[in-house]
A and B are shown apart, each in its own frame.
Chain A
Amino acid sequence: MIRLSYTDRYQITRLRTLVTNIFSLAAGLVVISIIFLIAGVNPLFAISEIFQGSFGSMYGFKETITKAIPLILIGAGLTLAFRAKFWNIGAEGQMLMGAIFSTWTGLTFGDALPGFAIIPLMFAAGFLGGALWGIIPAILKIRYAINEVISTLMLNYICAHILTMLIVGPWRGATRFGFPGTDNLPDAAILSVIPGSRIHYITLILALACAAILTLAIYKTRFGYEARVVGENPDAGKYAGINFFKTTLILMAVSGGLAGLAGVGEVAGIHHYLGYPASVSSGYGFTAIIVAWLAKLNPLYTVISGIFFAGILVGGDAIQISLGLPAATVEIVNGTLLIFLIMGDYFLHNKITVSFSRT
């Protein structure tokens, strides 16, 4: 008889983490291959197309970096919230709110102010928007004990509908010939890109800086310490005189604020106007959850995992076109990988021994 028994692993090395993650991703790819097979596509071809599409060409790689920008920003913010065990599923909404705030700022002041003034102002407004949308569930949780998973999730829809209402109603641009969407941002309010690509490098630099600063914040500062204590044991946090209200508020403001920054980047760097929610974001707020998870809640690692998942998004688009697969393919790929990563976590924390014995 074969018996499996599980015991806790007491020490988890970096190498083991890396190897486990690689194996999890590989196992996920196997399952994805099966799905491709069922869909009648050669899986090896499809998977190689995904990576060809994202990392195999200069064009693809530039696109990958472009899409990694919001993923890194949002993912880094999420690591902070997740460390304090605040399950923020609302980054999508926080990002849209950032987009709304910055668009308003850009449209209102963009003609009057020069670029070096309006751009920081828009980023500030975007951060503020995301932060506001982030602290609502924080207050709901602390004051009224409302589960943050549900409130953050629901706030995504509320925000998406607010945005739709704005672009269909009062903010509909005169230049849109009646179609929903705001007017284009003034030139001063548009982020410049690396020539020949869509990489709005200011946001990219901002994202890398945020990831680095957050890493420092989590591991070296008093605030990061307090967030970790609260996440480990709220009762101990209270006993230690940590202000639970303040800590949660700040960390959700930061987490939401970073998502808001991502929203600014999308509007001012890519679209140049505010359109339907689905076109502004394409689900970055949700994909970033996987990004944060794969980074093992270390903001610095979100740079790597963000680029990886951006690659899958870009590659997914590529096979959608070249193999004629439905748009949901990317989501299936993403979801499957997330499930395998989470399962991999189990093997990371538990040692499994197999023993053979006669009954």
Chain B
Amino acid sequence: MWITWKAPSPNNFNPAADPGLMRMPKSRGGCPATLMKKIQRLEMEGISKSFHGIHANKEISLSVGSGEILGLLGENGAGKTTLMNILYGLYQPDAGQIKINGSPVRITNPMESILMGIGMVHQHFMLIQNHSVIENIALGYKDTPFFFPKIKIREKVASFSRQFNFTIDLNQKIWQLSAGEQQRVEIIKALMNGADLLILDEPTSVLTPKEIEELIIILRQMKADGHCVIFISHKLDEIMNICDRVVVLQKGSIVGSADTGKTDKKTLARMMVGRDVVFNISKEKLAKGQEILRADQIHVTGDMGLPAVKGVSFDLHENEIFGIAGVAGNGQRELAEAITGIRRIDSGKVTINGKDITNLSPRHIYDHGVSHVPEERIRFGIAPGLFLYDNAILKQHHLKKFSRRYFLKYNDVKTHTQGIVDDFKVLTHSIDNQIRNLSGGNIQKLILGREISEQPRLLVASHPTYGLDVGATEFLRHHLLKLRKQGSAVLLFSEDLEEIFELCDRIAVIFAGEFMGIFDSDDERLCEIGLMMAGSKRI
């Protein structure tokens, strides 16, 4: 009899709290030898899976062969992650089967799939925040020795890191890393196990353009070595660039597939959303109104105890979107947190409408009309086990309209939540649903809806389109422009230059905690933005 260990719930955002993850068995006998052969072809046949009677996957069949990169496209909630979780052994399909090299296999937990040669990088990080990089890698590695695991593994990781240009201090704790760096740890973890089939679930959403390029190089190398890759992304350019073939999902079913050589972005988008998507939106000219935010010589310390923001000054007005462009980890997160009250400002001054808000509590700053869409939204923005309506008022629960004296007005809260769900097209069977059960993109939509539906005076938004499908991205950009038109100010942090140029009235480039310059969006000097982001030019 096989007793299999409990798989960590894929929607559990706090792996540290899940003992399942800490109990990965070292290795397993029992695995039929034929399966240890390299994966030449993987097939999924007629896979179906439903939750609460709603189909997340419906009779899906696909296959991927050695040396092939298969793209998986689909709107938020289309069922991509569910399908991959089935392949990885986190879920059992209701129907259908998986075949490796032509013979059917049953994958009942992740350790089995790892031993079969399947690796997966999850949409949300599964790293243990209080452990170091090396400890996290050792934990997921199949040959970790029982005694002194770190010593043995360190050499392996070191050689691997050299090969893939991975420059992170292995002794750092995960919580000290930027989102992009955490993603790289996840990727290394999957690669270290020598996966024949690598599944990447939106791996690029938090990577910088340069990191994405490096990842693409790694993937090409893997492809040349005869590995199979399944790649999920909402960025059509990437899909076109990286993949050989794409499969498009809609509401759990396959609605089309194509060779990337024989299709284009527009067609894919139409297949996915069922209508034409406007990629370039134009913003109307608006005169800027009175000043809303003024930041004066702000200095902020980062998690590592080093200065992260060094003397930044700028102002932001009504009817204006101010973009801060830069490679992740140059002080953007600290700056956003300082303005919204989560992080202490060491020196300098921030005013909203002329009132000093420096180092006020997050709630006071919120009450001054400042909304915040944080960078690591899954980590900071939700309480996973609580219901949608609980999460829809996080940070707003103290407001008059949701509470009377000591009590919450749950009827009003529920109406409000239903409003967000309808406006932002959050896909859920009901608002009486734990938020952990939503798809990644739909969680993002709920958080965005919560923060921006309130008509903030100032919206501080970090990478607001992370994880959104093309339709939702389009909607969100229109919404930001609508806020601008209605007189709000938006402070937009993004690595996506296209997004910055499309939306912003003024753009600042940040490097190592300093502004390299502030420009109007039509300034010609911006053609050198790449150099400025790299810190080699200052204006």
Residues of A whose CB lies within 8 Å of any CB of B are 1-8, 10-11, 220-223, 225-226, 228-229, 232-233, 235-241, 243, 350, 353, 357
Contacts and interface: CB of A to CB of B under 8 A. Distances in A.
Contacts of B109: 5
A241 B383 contact: no
Contacts of A350: 6
A226 B454 CA distance: 21
B110 interface: no
B24 to A, nearest CB: 15
Given A233-B14, A233-B384, A238-B342, A4 B408 contact: no
B394 A240 contact: yes
B1 A4 contact: yes
Nearest to B107: A5
A3 B105 CA distance: 14
A232 B384 contact: yes
Interface stretch (B132-140, B358-366, B474-482): B358-366
A238 B1 contact: no
B87 to A, nearest CB: 15
B1 A1 contact: yes
B443 to A, nearest CB: 12
Contacts of A4: 1-4
13 contacts: A1-B2, A4-B4, A5-B108, A8-B9, A10-B52, A10-B437, A222-B403, A226-B397, A233-B13, A233-B14, A240-B397, A241-B364, A241-B398
A226 B386 CA distance: 11
A5 B4 contact: yes
Contact of A223 (B13, B52, B406): B406
B16 to A, nearest CB: 12
Contacts of A238: 342, 362, 380
A355 to B, nearest CB: 9
Contacts of B381: 236, 239
A214 B380 CA distance: 28
B92 interface: yes
B92 A5 contact: yes
Interface in B370-393: 372, 374, 379-386, 390
Contact of B410 (A220, A223, A236, A353): A220
B427 interface: no
Contact of A239 (B2, B342, B386): B342
Contact of A229 (B7, B383, B406): B383
Given A228-B390, A229-B383, A241-B395, A3 B108 contact: yes
Contacts of A3: 1-2, 4, 106, 108
Contacts of B51: 10
B407 interface: yes
B108 A235 contact: no
Given A229-B394, A236-B380, 7 more contacts: A3-B1, A7-B91, A8-B9, A228-B383, A239-B380, A239-B381, A241-B395
B382 A241 contact: no
Given A5-B92, A221-B407, A233-B14, A240 B390 contact: no
A240 B362 contact: yes
Interface of B: 1-4, 6-7, 9, 13-14, 51-52, 91-92, 106, 108-109, 341-342, 361-364, 366, 372, 374, 379-386, 390, 394-395, 397-398, 403, 406-408, 410, 437
A146 to B, nearest CB: 16
Given A229-B383, A236-B382, A222 B4 contact: no
B385 A232 contact: yes
A298 to B, nearest CB: 15
A140 B158 CA distance: 40
Contacts of B4: 3-6
B398 A232 contact: no
Contacts of A6: 4, 6-7
Contacts of A241: 341, 361-364, 366, 395, 398
B2 A235 contact: no
B465 to A, nearest CB: 20
Given A222-B398, A229-B390, A241-B361, A2 B1 contact: yes
A6 to B, nearest CB: 5
A86 B361 CA distance: 24
Given A7-B91, A221-B408, A223-B406, A236 B383 contact: yes
B337 to A, nearest CB: 9
A221 B397 CA distance: 10
Nearest to B413: A225
A144 to B, nearest CB: 17
A222 B409 CA distance: 9
Contacts of B14: 233
Nearest to B10: A8
Contacts of B406: 221-223
A4 B109 CA distance: 11
Contacts of A235: 379-380
Nearest to B382: A236
A61 to B, nearest CB: 37
A237 B379 CA distance: 11
Contact of A222 (B13, B52, B108, B397): B397
A267 B92 CA distance: 57
Given A233-B14, A238-B362, A225 B408 contact: yes
A337 to B, nearest CB: 22
Contacts of A222: 397-398, 403, 406-408
A239 B108 CA distance: 37
Contacts of A237: 383
A7 B395 contact: no
A314 to B, nearest CB: 36
B392 to A, nearest CB: 12
Contacts of A221: 406-408
A49 B398 CA distance: 53
Interface centre among B108, B364, B385, B410 (most CB of A within 10 A): B108
Contacts of A236: 379-383, 394
Contacts of A223: 406
A247 to B, nearest CB: 12
Contacts of A357: 106
Contacts of B341: 241
Contacts of A2: 1-2
A7 B6 CA distance: 8
Nearest to A223: B406
Top 4 closest A-B pairs, CB basis?
A241-B363, A232-B383, A241-B362, A240-B395
Nearest to A3: B2
Given A6-B4, A221-B407, A239 B374 contact: yes
A17 to B, nearest CB: 16
Contacts of A239: 342, 362, 372, 374, 380-381, 394-395
Contact of B386 (A5, A8, A10, A228): A228
Nearest to A224: B408
A52 B364 CA distance: 60
Interface centre among A223, A228, A240, A357 (most CB of B within 10 A): A240
Nearest to B13: A233
B340 to A, nearest CB: 9
A296 B387 CA distance: 18
Contacts of A232: 383-386
Contacts of A11: 52
Contacts of B386: 228-229, 232
A189 to B, nearest CB: 33
